[in-house]
Structure 1
């Protein structure tokens, strides 16, 4: 059951279905088996609360969790049992190595500088320290260049100071399965990984989980697919939606033909029209680019956005609804059964990742818990 206490006083409500999240984890885990499946919970689990999401995934069998920054790992560590491994994708900023070594958190080393600093801390502590090593296979973002990685592999002292538990890279075009970059990165990764025998390997992200089994290796790292986003730009999404977003109607008004609506009067009514104003805007993560392009839904009817998206409100053309069908206080669907997060993102000219991570703090948030979580709380 969703707990909706407080939604009556909010302009919008965001409902997160943790049961769907866990089902998505199971679907993805089966997809990549016998590889293991990791959860990417950076950016506060893509805006959905890492403190709520990560324990549910642990109960579902997940043991590896990736964040972007060390501070995120510190916040997440108390939320998970010791059996969970937390990896820091961006590695460590200079000066944070000692704190990381004491926190049972594993950095992803992305450069020779990061690798050497981690090695120095290991020597100063007199013990081997766990780490992952990222190699650049063509994305030109994070990771060691091929010759740097090969040189590090040949450094026996580094191998004794640092316990490499993962070698990884990141696919640039996995959401486009036929892109030739995928095969090229796979070949480069396989060639580099041979220099690190017996070290587990990881290449696939959400899109990579839906590529052929050769991309899955030992560990796949899924993010947006867990939260309901489509892993592939073209194919039908096999993942269950996790998020429902609704906003309340503040006001309804009738306007004559020729009336302008919103800032800049960018919308002009071509006929006598009814306009509804809802209480969310770009301060709540609804991009300004949705103006005159996107839509909301009510009772199966698509309601086009009329005019620009404001900071705290959006105006909708509701002329097609019957008189009296919509009233102040009614809930309008922005993400839900009629409109996926990917559709909303497409209308905004962006991607589902950006929509999810931008959803603001003013929504009333409610969580549909799994049976296990509900029983645990009751106990």
Structure 2
């Protein structure tokens, strides 16, 4: 996917962030095929990893997705009313004390991560004299969210705790699925199944983006991809089969010639060892471009990689463009930060982080352009 600064871009913006909704749908459909006969939901927390939860969710909904996962109740409040009534919105972090009535009124489904959360949700249901839907999350070895073994034991001994709760899903989360050879994948699956089998008629969900591509006989009832929908590599050990979704370009603000020995940027920690040409672009860490990339990152101009020269500033980055033909270096000319020459995984590798962080940091000062999804047949449904 290639982007060029275009006439429809807001001229006041110094960057263009393009999101290809057709690629999102294509990635969703690829996961549907991979995980069949399980259904596939969409993780759209953190504003769909920074790309726009409403726009992403609407494209997925048109493609047949009916299960959407956010982290916080506030995200559910912002999303739920824009989705079709038959769609489910799950709140992964569960509910803070006192927020249960809002969640119930909204029609969102809490993921209950502790006996305390379960008790409070059941109390509200009992007060309303009506069962309320919920998901139980099991801690299968990640020691993060989910009922630990001792609380599961209590729940199994006291099943009346669930009398006012309609369990729509039992789930857990894989810690190392991006490494197919990690022994924890099998141990977590076994621990999850040991609990899930105590709830024989409740649909199950374990696999995230990476889990959907693990070689195993069963992906259960519902798969919960996030980063793979947005073009990130689900497993680092294998080539990325997802279509790229995001492109990011900046504009050249200024170009200058500097002599050998000249120093650049805050701290003056870049020194030109020969006469050089330096281009400044109007994007910085205030737009989410990691400051750490000042030591190791780069960009592309006319297909030529240009290294960052000096530190990433809040609103600007300086690039060594000495090897780029001058015709490509006029003010306003495009500079590729994410695109065909540099993926989100490439940027993440340069920054010693993961593609999730690259996407979720992208700021609001870019002009955003959404490429529409093509008309596609709705994928076949699954079991959940």
Equivalent-residue separation in structure 2 for 1:203 and 1:48 (angstroms): 24
Partner of 1:197: 200
Equivalent-residue separation in structure 1 for 2:350 and 2:216 (angstroms): 33
Does residue 1:70 correspond to 2:63, yes or no? no
Equivalent-residue separation in structure 2 for 1:353 and 1:79 (angstroms): 25
CA drift of 1:355 comes to: 0.9
Q: Unpaired runs of 5+ in structure 1?
A: 374-379
CA contact (8 A) 1:153 1:196 kept: no
**Match for residue 324 of structure 1 among 327, 341, 344:** 327
Aligned residue for 1:195, secondary structure, equals coil
Does residue 1:247 correspond to 2:250, yes or no? yes
Aligned residue for 2:223, secondary structure, equals strand
- Cα shift readout 1:6-58 (whole Å, capped 9, x = no counterpart): 43221111000001011010001111000110100001111111111101101
Instruction: Give the 3 Å change call, closer, same or farther, for CA 150–215 of structure 1 in structure 2.
Output: farther
Does residue 1:132 correspond to 2:135, yes or no? yes
**Match for residue 91 of structure 2 among 88, 109, 112:** 88
**Match for residue 173 of structure 2 among 170, 173, 176:** 170
Partner of 1:31: 34
- Cα shift readout 1:336-361 (whole Å, capped 9, x = no counterpart): 00000010111112111111111001
Aligned residue for 2:253, secondary structure, equals strand
Aligned residues: 373
Partner of 2:145: 142
Equivalent-residue separation in structure 1 for 2:158 and 2:33 (angstroms): 37
In the TM superposition, what are the counterparts of 1:273-312 in structure 2 within 5 Å?
273-312=276-315
CA contact (8 A) 2:9 2:16 kept: no
**Match for residue 267 of structure 2 among 260, 264, 268:** 264
CA drift of 1:214 comes to: 3.9
CA drift of 1:120 comes to: 0.5
**Match for residue 356 of structure 1 among 345, 356, 359:** 359
Equivalent-residue separation in structure 2 for 1:325 and 1:197 (angstroms): 63
Partner of 1:347: 350
CA contact (8 A) 1:153 1:159 kept: no
Equivalent-residue separation in structure 2 for 1:110 and 1:261 (angstroms): 50
Identify the range of structure 1 (153-162 vs 69-78) with the bigger mean alpha-carbon deviation: 153-162
Equivalent-residue separation in structure 2 for 1:372 and 1:73 (angstroms): 27
Partner of 2:379: none
Partner of 1:209: 212
- Cα shift readout 1:168-215 (whole Å, capped 9, x = no counterpart): 001111111111111111111111111111111111011101112346
- Cα shift readout 1:133-171 (whole Å, capped 9, x = no counterpart): 001011100000123123313433223211111110011
**TM (normalized to structure 2)?**
0.94
Does residue 1:51 correspond to 2:54, yes or no? yes
Does residue 1:98 correspond to 2:105, yes or no? no
Equivalent-residue separation in structure 1 for 2:285 and 2:217 (angstroms): 41
Equivalent-residue separation in structure 2 for 1:185 and 1:325 (angstroms): 53
**Match for residue 234 of structure 2 among 231, 238, 257:** 231
Partner of 1:119: 122
Aligned residue for 1:217, secondary structure, equals coil
Partner of 2:16: 13
Equivalent-residue separation in structure 1 for 2:105 and 2:53 (angstroms): 22
CA drift of 1:233 comes to: 1.7
Q: Unpaired runs of 5+ in structure 2?
A: 377-384
**TM (normalized to structure 1)?**
0.96
Instruction: Tell me how large the CA RMSD over aligned residues is.
Output: 1.5
Aligned residue for 2:347, secondary structure, equals helix
- Cα shift readout 1:230-263 (whole Å, capped 9, x = no counterpart): 1112211000010000000000001111111111
